[in-house]
Amino acid sequence: MDPLVQVLRQDRGRLLAALVARTGNFQRAEDALQDAAASALVHWDRAGVPTSPTGWLLRAALRKAIDSYRRDTSLARHRDAIALLAQEEAADPDPQAIPDDRLRLIFTCCHPALEEKTRVGLTLRSLCGLTTEQVAAVFLDAEPTMGQRLSRAKAKIATARIPFAIPGPEDLPDRLNSVLTTVYLIFTAGYAQGPQAGTDLCAEAIFLARLLVHLTPHQPEVEAALALLLLTHGRQAARTGPDGLTLPPSQQDRNLWNRAELDEGRSLLDTAIARRRTGPFQIKAAIAALHAEDTAPDWPQIAALYARLQDFEPTPVVALNHAVALAESGQPGPALAQVQALAGVLDGYQPFHAVRADLLVRVGKVEVARLDYLRAIGLAASAADRNFLLARLLALE
């Protein structure tokens, strides 16, 4: 791999965070890093790759930031900032020795004042070092559309003064949840799509979760979020059969499970639960752990966990999952009643129709079930899901 691409891939988040911390401006920091990378392209090609490529980039970016202040019409306002940056640049900073500001950066990127999609985009661009083009591909957006979204977000961060800071203890649980939800969204996007075009979003999400565990130690929700990703990812290879069909968990080949990932997930979850501060990610990870048991899953326990999760996240999707667990625990009647109550809000949601079809079959209403399968097939997002549902429909008497 090209050395510049490699350095940016690995250290872009750290460099960007350091630059935002020093300039107080997301766009200025990103432009400075961009300009520094452009210089590197020329210099490294001519003079060879420096011994500390990251240090070289940081120094160059500090100089570029100073230049950008000097070009500013309100130069007088920036004298102090320029002096500070110049001092630091002259000291030839070691990027590994300066404080890691990535936690502040991720709290800014995942601020609830930004739209969810924007949070995902900014985080992938800033912390994971994806290009705008790669971020756009995640959402099947055109590159300029995503570029505009990211620019607007950076402008809002500066204008509305979204702080580049770790929230205080009062706000921390909510804000941390917003960060973890963003990471989880990145993971689920990758889980649905699989690796593509050089981007493995599941790996990016696991990287972010590991970073958060490292930067915010002793936080049970953070540990549980990483556990959730590992406990899900560890079973991914078994998710589809050789024919490309999505397999129900009961038919998945457990030899394909990644035992190391599952063990690490379980151990992280144990650590988190021992801290005795329950939260939604611990419950979700506990559910994932029950699905990753070698024996058949303990459905009554899973149903109880979903019931508890509804206290934290009273959403229709959680209620749907709760109903599935109830049905698997031998209560298809109450499960169907609960699912019927969600018909209004979840009408466009494929799993809703697949679940209801399955429950209708169980209570002997095969004809109505057929309609739900057809609806679910129409809404299926991937060929694997579509084929799976089709097979279920064709198996009906």
Q: Residue numbers of the site for other proteins (CB under 8 A)?
A: 111, 113, 159-163, 165, 167, 171
Q: Which two tokens stand for residue 54?
A: 């990251």
Nearer to other proteins, 24 or 93 (CB): 24
In whole angstroms, what is the distance from residue 333 CA to residue 180 CA?
35
Residues forming a β-bridge with 246: 240
* Residue (24 or 147) nearer to other proteins, CB: 24
Please report how close the Cβ of residue 31 comes to other proteins at its closest, in angstroms: 22
200 exposure class (CB count in 10 Å sphere: 0-12, 13-18, 19+): middle
Pick the closer one to other proteins by CB: 167 or 297.
Answer: 167
Positive or negative, the CA dihedral 114, 130, 92, 65 is negative
CB of 162 or CB of 327, closer to other proteins: 162
Q: In sequence order, which residues have a C-beta less than 8 Å from that of residue 131 and are 6 or more positions away?
A: 125
Q: How far is the CB of 162 from other proteins (least distance, A)?
A: 5
**Burial degree of 111 (CB within 10 A; 0-12, 13-18, 19+):** buried
What is the token pair recorded at 1? 């791999």
> What residues contact residue 340 under an 8 Å CB cut-off, 6+ apart?
356
Nearer to other proteins, 67 or 171 (CB): 171
Contact in structure between 324 and 249 (CB atoms under 8 Å): no
Residue number with CB closer to other proteins (156 or 291)? 156
**Which residue lies nearer to other proteins by CB, 165 or 260?**
165
Shortest spacing between CB 25 and other proteins, in angstroms: 13
Measure the CA–CA gap between 281 and 277, rounded to whole angstroms.
Answer: 11
Q: How far is the CB of 168 from other proteins (least distance, A)?
A: 9
Instruction: Report the distance separating Cα 349 and Cα 335, nearest Å.
Output: 17
- The minimum distance between CB 163 and other proteins, in angstroms, equals 4
Compute the CA torsion angle 37, 43, 45, 46 (nearest 10 deg).
170
Residues ≥6 apart with Cβ < 8 Å to 238: 247, 252, 253, 254, 256, 257
Angle between helices 172-193 and 220-233 (to 10 degrees): 10
In angstroms, give the least distance from the CB of 158 to other proteins.
10
Whichever of 159 and 295 has its CB closer to other proteins, that residue is 159
Q: Which is nearer to other proteins, 107 or 373 (CB)?
A: 107
- Burial state string for 296-307 with b = 16 or more CB within 10 A and e = fewer than 16: ebbbeebbebbe
What is the C-alpha to C-alpha distance for residues 288 and 274, in angstroms, rounded to an integer?
A: 18
